[in-house]
Amino acid sequence: MTRIVRHRPRRRPSAEFERLDDRGAGLISTIASVLVFLAFLLFAVQTLFALYTRSMVTDAAHEAVRHAAGARVDHADPVAVAAARMDAESEARRLLGRFGDEVELDWSASTGDTVALTVRAEPPSFLWAALRGPWSGIVERTVTARVEVAR
């Protein structure tokens, strides 16, 4: 007796076998995407840190100039003006906290009727210099106020 053999078309391997061949392929892309996410997160935190530092330096400069230009200071007396500037400097450094010890305060642009303070500071950073970006340079703010005169 002759046996008839039918040729069956070759079936594709089942999805279970395909998955076994690709094991671990998602791990590499997952690790790469987590590293990219962490890099963006670090970049965002550094940017916010730099913006916060700039904001605090500007606020401390405004407060110091407001204190030094106040009506309670006798602006005709150089000793009183120097004492008011020293108080204003200590207040600005107090507002900046530990960072206040590293800032440079310059009153040389002041005139008889205006008080000007230039604050120069290098913002702290936790990134290498090559990764900081253009916003992380030296912060320099000049704040000017007119001398208040009591009437």
Q: What is the pLDDT of residues 4-42, one digit of tens each?
A: 767 766 666 555 555 555 666 688 888 999 999 998 898
Q: Is residue 21 part of a domain?
A: no
Mean pLDDT of all residues in the chain?
Answer: 82
Q: Is residue 142 part of a domain?
A: yes
**Could you read off the pLDDT of 69-89 as tens digits, one per residue?**
887 888 888 898 899 999 999
Q: How many domains does the chain have?
A: 1
pLDDT at 135 over 70: no
Count other C-beta atoms under 10 Å from residue 142's C-beta: 13
CA distance 138 to 47: 14
Domain around 131 = 26-146
pTM: 0.70
Diameter of the chain measured on Cα atoms = 130
CA distance 77 to 74: 6
**113: confidence class by pLDDT, cuts 50, 70, 90:** confident
pLDDT at 92 over 60: yes
CA angle 52, 56, 60 (to 5 degrees): 175
What's residue 99's pLDDT? 86
What's residue 142's pLDDT? 92
Q: Is residue 4 part of a domain?
A: no
Q: Is residue 3 part of a domain?
A: no
Are 102 and 57 a contacting pair, CB within 8 Å?
A: no
Q: Is residue 78 part of a domain?
A: yes
Q: Is residue 20 part of a domain?
A: no
